[in-house]
Structure 1
Amino acid sequence: MNLKVFATLTDALARIDAAVTPAQVLEELVGILRPFGFRHLLITGLPSPQVGPWQREILYDGWPVEWLEHYLASEHFTQDPCASRSRLVGQPFVWRDLSPKEITTGQLRVMGEAAEFGLRDGLCVPVHEPRRVPSVVTAAGERIELLPEDVPILETVCVHAYRALRRLNGGGGQSPQINLTDRERQVLTWIAAGKAAEDVACILGISRFTVERHLSNVREKFDAVNTIQAAMEAVRRGEIYP
């Protein structure tokens, strides 16, 4: 990763960690999302439509008022392809990647009507945690400018902000103590410096498989959705230094 980008993200995550109110967390998240064209944001749990009103799971409602009213009145939650996919997958996805051949007429209607309210494209970042219903951070706008390499970066910020909101709303405790091994620190430090796994393998004189195994262990220790988030968390905890 570009070191300038890494430093910017580290600062953003540090500010999210330092936030003492949900509004401060959201301000940081919106500030990261806005340059990509995202103008609307919804953070919510995704309970099964059969268990009751889903809107009780909303952590933040930044949808256009008219769209949310229409969405609720039309009972679109049961047909929303983004909600359905976010319950099933753990990887972020862009709305434009939803194949018309794989979604129903009712689901196409939901997306078409969303576009009429200014939500023409968006990004969904599913969040799956033990003993909780799936959740999603969804950002949308009229026109977004998003490269594939931007997605894991935004995923990191969105998941971090989601967990901060849960914590500030009484849904989480203190971060547990985590210790990396010396080799895990070495591998992660080089990755954070922008080196690819193959390069790290050559630098440290180990196989790429071993590098990937160390990275997998680090992601698991930090409960990180990707290596970027793991590196950010390691910097935040003082395990590595950028």
Structure 2
Amino acid sequence: MFDRTQRYLFEDFIRDSQAAGTAEVLFAHLKRCVGQYGYDRLIFSVAYDPSLPADHHRPNIFNLYPEDWQKTYLEKGYARLDPVLHAAVTHSSAFTWANLEATSSYSPAQSRLMNEAIDAGLNSGIGVPMRALRAIGGLGLASTLAHDSAEAHLGLINALCTQFYLSYRRLHAPPPPAVLLSAKEREVLTWVAAGKTDDEVGAILGISRNTVDTHMRHIFRKLDATNRVTAVVTGLTHGHISP
């Protein structure tokens, strides 16, 4: 899992996240990886994701923010003011809290909120929304100790959190519906895989070229393919046809 310098590498996290059997194990891998870059305060929330069951649409699925801050945040209703939370709805990739402040017009109340967060031990913050995956939510990261490396590690943190989210989906999203090709569609795709043209397939199967074309359009739709090569590869990969 570790290289010679005992660093937990990005490729290690990819492998471990794909193998994780529970969300808790998955989150532990993320915590270990981002901890190398000074981020020991993490929070993971999902407001909405059509690929996840409704009971996963909730805040604080995992939350390592200071307990005193969490209590203050709830008591003062800071969710309605939080500029990081609002930015998660509009941004499609990771952003630093510092850059967000520099490019936004905070109200006095929002400025006080962010200063209180720093006083509570949330420094060098990063927000990682998941809008690119058609989800509203994501991860927040901060450090107990202030450092100036947030911008330098922004791309890596974004990639790590995206992989975490994809793996979380793998664990909790319902399985996709089974794709079923008809017997005739499998025949058509088998001959296409053998390199036959639509005219040749039609002659072999005793059907018109237009009928072959209709079958191919159905195959493309069912296999989410955009061309014959993709359809054949997908058909082979998922056992719809044999090599």
Q: Which TM-score bucket, shorter chain as reference?
A: 0.5 to 0.7
Looking at structure 2, the residues matched to 150 and 96 of structure 1 have their Cα atoms a distance apart, in angstroms, of 14
Written as runs of structure 1 = structure 2, the 5 A alignment for 1:188-199 is: none
Aligned equivalent of 1:153, options 152, 156, 159:
156
Question: For each residue in 1:35-70, what CA deviation from the matched residue of structure 2 results, as whole angstroms up to 9, or x when unmatched?
Answer: 2211110011247xxxxxxx9333211111111111
**TM-aligned CA deviation for residue 148 of structure 1:** 3.9
Question: Does the CA contact (< 8 Å) of 1:122 and 1:144 recur in 2?
Answer: no
**Paired position in structure 2 for 1:27:** 28
**TM-aligned CA deviation for residue 13 of structure 1:** 0.7
Question: Does the CA contact (< 8 Å) of 1:33 and 1:154 recur in 2?
Answer: yes
Looking at structure 2, the residues matched to 125 and 145 of structure 1 have their Cα atoms a distance apart, in angstroms, of 18
**Paired position in structure 2 for 1:64:** 66
Question: Does the CA contact (< 8 Å) of 2:125 and 2:150 recur in 1?
Answer: no
Question: For each residue in 1:152-186, what CA deviation from the matched residue of structure 2 results, as whole angstroms up to 9, or x when unmatched?
Answer: 11111111112222332x22547x9xxxxxxxxxx
Could you say which structure has the greater relative contact order, defined with CA pairs below 8 angstroms and 6 or more residues apart?
Answer: 1
Question: For each residue in 1:191-232, what CA deviation from the matched residue of structure 2 results, as whole angstroms up to 9, or x when unmatched?
Answer: xxxxxxxxxxxxxxxxxxxxxxxxxxxxxx9xxxxxxxxxxx
Give the aligned length: 164
Looking at structure 2, the residues matched to 30 and 172 of structure 1 have their Cα atoms a distance apart, in angstroms, of 26
**Paired position in structure 2 for 1:87:** 89
Question: Does the CA contact (< 8 Å) of 1:38 and 1:144 recur in 2?
Answer: no
Are 1:41 and 2:42 matched, yes or no? yes
Question: Does the CA contact (< 8 Å) of 1:36 and 1:145 recur in 2?
Answer: no
Question: For each residue in 1:111-152, what CA deviation from the matched residue of structure 2 results, as whole angstroms up to 9, or x when unmatched?
Answer: 01111110122111110233x4x1121110131342645211
Looking at structure 2, the residues matched to 57 and 172 of structure 1 have their Cα atoms a distance apart, in angstroms, of 20
Question: Does the CA contact (< 8 Å) of 2:95 and 2:127 recur in 1?
Answer: yes
Are 1:125 and 2:146 matched, yes or no? no
**Paired position in structure 2 for 1:185:** none
Are 1:166 and 2:169 matched, yes or no? yes
- The normalised TM-score by structure 1 is 0.60
Looking at structure 2, the residues matched to 160 and 146 of structure 1 have their Cα atoms a distance apart, in angstroms, of 21
**TM-aligned CA deviation for residue 22 of structure 1:** 1.3
Looking at structure 1, the residues matched to 74 and 170 of structure 2 have their Cα atoms a distance apart, in angstroms, of 28
Q: Which amino acid aligns with 2:146?
A: R
Structure 2, unpaired ranges of 5+: 49-56, 179-223, 225-243
Looking at structure 1, the residues matched to 20 and 96 of structure 2 have their Cα atoms a distance apart, in angstroms, of 28
Looking at structure 1, the residues matched to 110 and 175 of structure 2 have their Cα atoms a distance apart, in angstroms, of 38
- The normalised TM-score by structure 2 is 0.60
Residue 111 of structure 1 aligns to a residue whose secondary structure is helix
Change (3 A) 1:147 1:43: closer
Q: Which amino acid aligns with 2:139?
A: V
Structure 1, unpaired ranges of 5+: 48-54, 177-220, 222-242
Looking at structure 2, the residues matched to 65 and 173 of structure 1 have their Cα atoms a distance apart, in angstroms, of 36
Residue 140 of structure 1 aligns to a residue whose secondary structure is strand
Q: Which amino acid aligns with 2:155?
A: P
**Paired position in structure 2 for 1:74:** 76
Looking at structure 2, the residues matched to 20 and 123 of structure 1 have their Cα atoms a distance apart, in angstroms, of 27
Aligned equivalent of 2:115, options 112, 117, 140:
112
Superposed CA RMSD in Å reads 3.0
Change (3 A) 1:35 1:80: same
Q: Which amino acid aligns with 2:63?
A: D
Q: Which amino acid aligns with 2:129?
A: P
Written as runs of structure 1 = structure 2, the 5 A alignment for 1:155-234 is: 155-168=158-171, 170-171=172-173, 173=175
